[in-house]
């Protein structure tokens, strides 16, 4: 396997192991945890930019008012996504969180149709229809929408849509997004500290190290993903992305023993069938497009 495949596997595996990391920080309220994730991620990413000798390029391309305005909504969406995810993990809803990232690609495809007026191939419509059917079924058996999964799927899909049209790469983009959120996060954490409710430096060395480590666990998979995206085909990257939610699902079942009734399995199976069709159809379509045209006689 080439370096790009290993980088993709590494990125998605780390994202898949996130529930274990954030479970260790379960005693820290979700909003405070996100504040620390923003602060330490911003610092870590800035260090990466400086070490890579890209600070001048970052200032030139990112620190412009029109670019900053374009990234404000992206910053709000990714911070909201992080908040819902951390709350879900530490509240015992890892399975539903994993469902959000399973259906995210299909939500992105549906948004492309609605917002960008793109046309779907027949089997893509089948995939999206099965995902909708699975969500409707899960809503029916529970009596309410699976809001955690839908919140994660839609915030990340809208985030991806904005990033698709954004001028910066992954490293500069996330650095700017966390930079936009840095001041509110710092103010919030300082207010907690002043009130004596802050976790940092008051909950033991392990918690302090894990909170600082939020920067590392954010930056490392991002950099691995950026490396993979440059080296392997998008179709292969799309298939490998299911490593993350699959690991999260298995961790929820095997390690944290979250309840998973047969009725819920039916809904997941419908959605997984749609994903399987989506992945196979995408691979076949790209293979067909890659085939050289026949020479004229």
HSE (side-chain half, CA atoms, 13 Å) at 137 = 16
Segment 115-132 shows an average pLDDT of 80
Segment 239-267 shows an average pLDDT of 86
| pLDDT for residue 104 | 82
| Residue closest to 97 by CA, chosen among 143, 147, 140, 28 | 147
Out of 1-5, 42-46, 158-162, 163-167, give the one with best mean pLDDT.
42-46
pTM of this structure: 0.83
| pLDDT for residue 186 | 94
| pLDDT for residue 297 | 32
**Above pLDDT 90, what percent of the chain?**
29
Answer for the pair 246, 19: CB distance below 8 angstroms, yes or no.
Answer: no
Answer for the pair 244, 12: CB distance below 8 angstroms, yes or no.
Answer: yes
- Please write the tens of the pLDDT for every residue from 172-200: 888 999 999 999 999 999 998 888 787 78
Q: Read off the pLDDT band of 35 (50, 70, 90).
A: very high
CA 132 vs CA 115, 139, 146, 287: distances in Å: 18, 11, 12, 27
Residue 5 clears pLDDT 50, i.e. is over it: yes
- Please write the tens of the pLDDT for every residue from 17-31: 999 999 999 889 999
Distance CA 55, CA 104 (A): 33
| pLDDT for residue 227 | 75
Q: In the predicted model, what is the mean pLDDT of the chain?
A: 84
Residue 293 clears pLDDT 50, i.e. is over it: no
Distance CA 97, CA 93 (A): 6
Distance CA 222, CA 12 (A): 10
Q: Read off the pLDDT band of 236 (50, 70, 90).
A: low
Residue 291 clears pLDDT 60, i.e. is over it: no
Residue 139 clears pLDDT 90, i.e. is over it: no
| pLDDT for residue 237 | 67
| pLDDT for residue 184 | 94
Distance CA 120, CA 150 (A): 21
């Amino acid at each position: 396997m080439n370096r790009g495949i290993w980088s993709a596997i590494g990125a998605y595996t780390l994202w898949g192991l996130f529930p274990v990391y954030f479970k260790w920080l379960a005693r820290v309220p979700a909003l405070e945890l996100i504040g620390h994730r923003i602060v330490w991620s911003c610092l870590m990413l800035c260090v990466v930019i400086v070490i890579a000798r890209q600070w001048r390029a970052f200032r030139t391309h990112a620190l412009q008012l029109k670019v900053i305005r374009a990234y404000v909504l992206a910053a709000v969406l990714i911070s909201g996504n992080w908040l819902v995810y951390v709350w879900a993990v530490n509240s015992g809803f890892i399975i539903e969180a994993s469902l959000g990232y399973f259906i995210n690609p299909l939500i992105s495809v549906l948004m492309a149709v609605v917002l960008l007026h793109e046309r779907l191939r027949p089997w893509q419509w089948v995939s999206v229809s099965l995902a909708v059917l699975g969500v409707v079924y899960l809503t029916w058996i529970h009596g309410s929408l699976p809001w955690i999964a839908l919140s994660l799927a839609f915030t990340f899909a809208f985030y991806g849509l904005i990033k698709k049209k954004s001028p910066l790469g992954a490293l500069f983009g996330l650095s700017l997004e966390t930079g936009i959120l840095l001041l509110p996060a710092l103010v919030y954490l300082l207010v907690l500290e002043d009130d004596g409710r802050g976790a940092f430096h008051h909950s033991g060395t392990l918690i302090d190290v894990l909170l600082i480590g939020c920067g590392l666990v954010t930056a490392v998979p991002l950099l691995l993903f950026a490396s993979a995206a440059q080296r392997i085909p998008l179709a292969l990257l799309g298939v490998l992305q299911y490593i993350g939610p699959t690991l999260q699902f298995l961790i929820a079942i095997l390690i944290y023993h979250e309840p998973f009734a047969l009725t819920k399995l039916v809904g997941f199976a419908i959605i997984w069938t749609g994903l399987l069709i989506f992945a196979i159809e995408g691979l076949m379509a790209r293979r067909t497009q890659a085939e050289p045209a026949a020479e004229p006689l």
